[in-house]
Amino acid sequence: MPPECLTVLAPIKPGEVDALRAVLRPIGDDINGTHMPPGGRPHVAFPNSRDIHFARFAILTDPDRGPGRARLLYASVFDGSLEAHVAELADLSTGFEAIWGKLEGYAGRESFAAFLKAHAHQPAAYYIAFRDHTVVSIREAITVREAAAAALDAGQPAPVGSSPDLFARAGAALARIARAAPIVVDAVAAFATFGFTDVTRGTRRIVASLGRYPLFRFANQLTGNALPPRRSPYSRVPIDTCAAPAPLADGDEIPSISSALPAGFREDAVSQNQLTLVTVIGAEGPNRVRAVMAAIDSFARRLAPPGSLIGISTIHFVRWLVIDDGRRLMMVSDYDGSWESYIDEFAEMILSGLDAIWETSLAYPPDGARDLPAFKWFLRSHQVPAEVFFSAYPSETVLNIVNGTRVRSAGA
């Protein structure tokens, strides 16, 4: 069973934002709980979990409730059932009420599961780098890889397994076919739900720059599909990119409530990084962006090989959510390396896909991701810093895990 995700957005009580941040910030600063004061403090012992891959808390603006209002984001990826995850989250937490008691509608620990479910949002698209692996199996693969590397360093032979036999290879091929087969059903459902025009337009926009794949290159040539000409040879990036983010167009919003806190807060703390984005969808965009999400979700679930999304090999998990009755688009990502390299890789590998995802958002650059400086400023302006960020394997990249699973399979 692939890892599940939970994305909760719950309104914070008026006047409680600073108090909630004062609780969350020390948890994020000391995720392992190694610097607890003598009297203790509220904490969530994420490292004690055997099932949580990644988790974060962040505080966002809540413009629909009025100026100065805010809401709490809790986002996690976990193994097993939602019920088990919620129960574990409660068990891992001390000072439980210090966090959840500051949220509107929270009625106590007894109804915690119902509260989270009432404020949970389902992803419109969800990519998992390792669909067949749990936290436990990934950690085991890491251990095997490290042991093999240590053996090689010591001049000892690394474990070598036998090559898969014909039946094993045939079984793997059949499994891939079985996984991919429902993509036809996905396409029919997308046309029925979102309409022929938006699905076709969204798909064409996604694949316009994917000529490195023969199938997409042939389809683009057959249909005359290509990126539109650039509107200007010059970048639209503001001159002062060190200033605090401000709305970039009429109706645009800045989702972070603290201009004093850099959008990149908690970046580069471990080998992985986190990215949370919230943009405002234009009036004509909700159905179109949902159609694009349906195409991305289908590809991610049916065709993406382990550890790679259209050639991008730095993403552990990423999900997009259309929230607030279609008015906003949220992205929640856990990835390797720096923010700059992550965005650069996206722009290089899936340029047209970025435009398909965000071109309906207000303030999106006229030349999209081809105007890379302006695109990065657009993302930074709509990024929400994480108060807490947890990774179950903070030193491991996607490629390291790929190698670990291969070494483990070879030694089996």
Angle, nearest 10°, between helix axes 351-358 and 196-207? 150
CA proximity to 275, closest of 73, 92, 134, 114: 73
Radius of gyration of the chain (CA): 22
- CA-to-CA dists, residue 21 to 102, 257, 263, 331, angstroms: 10, 11, 15, 22
The three state secondary structure string of the chain is: CCCEEEEEEEEECCCCHHHHHHHHHHHHHCCCCCCCCCCCCCEECHHHCCCEEEEEEEEEECHHHCCCCEEEEEEEEECCCHHHHHHHHHHHEECHHHHHCCECCCCCHHHHHHHHHHCECCCCEEEECCCCCCHHHHHHHHHHHHHHHHHHHCCCCCCCCCCCCHHHHHHHHHHHHHHHCCHHHHHHHHHHHHCHHHHHHHHHHHHCCCCCCHHHHHHHHHHCCCCCCCCCCCCCCCCCCCCCCCCCCCCCCCCECCCCCCCCCCCCCCCEEEEEEEEEECCCCHHHHHHHHHHHHHHHHHCCCCCCECCECCEEEEEEEEECCCCEEEEEEEEECCHHHHHHHHHHHCHHHHHHHHCCECCCCCCHHHCHHHHHHHHHHCECCEEEEEECCCCCCHHHHHHHHHHHHHHC
| 247-300: pLDDT as tens digits | 888 999 999 986 567 777 888 878 899 999 999 999 888 999 999 999 999 999
CA proximity to 202, closest of 292, 139, 123: 292
pLDDT for residue 14: 95
Residue ranges for the chain with pLDDT beneath 50:
none
pLDDT for residue 165: 59
pLDDT for residue 407: 75
pLDDT for residue 158: 58
Question: Where, residue-wise, is CATH 3.30.70 in the chain?
Answer: 4-120
pLDDT for residue 257: 82
pLDDT for residue 161: 52
Q: What are phi and psi of 118, to 5 degrees?
A: -65, -25
Tokens 């959840």 locate to: 100
For strand 315-323 and strand 328-336, is the pairing parallel, antiparallel, or unpaired?
antiparallel
pLDDT for residue 349: 92
pLDDT for residue 145: 81
**Number of CB atoms found within 10 A of residue 410's CB:** 15
Q: Tell me how far apart the alpha carbons of residues 357 and 288 are, in angstroms, rounded to a whole number.
A: 9
Q: What is the CATH number of domain 4-120?
A: 3.30.70
pLDDT for residue 336: 95
Nearest 10 degrees: CA dihedral of 272, 100, 331, 48? 30
| Residue 398 near residue 336, CB atoms below 8 Å | yes
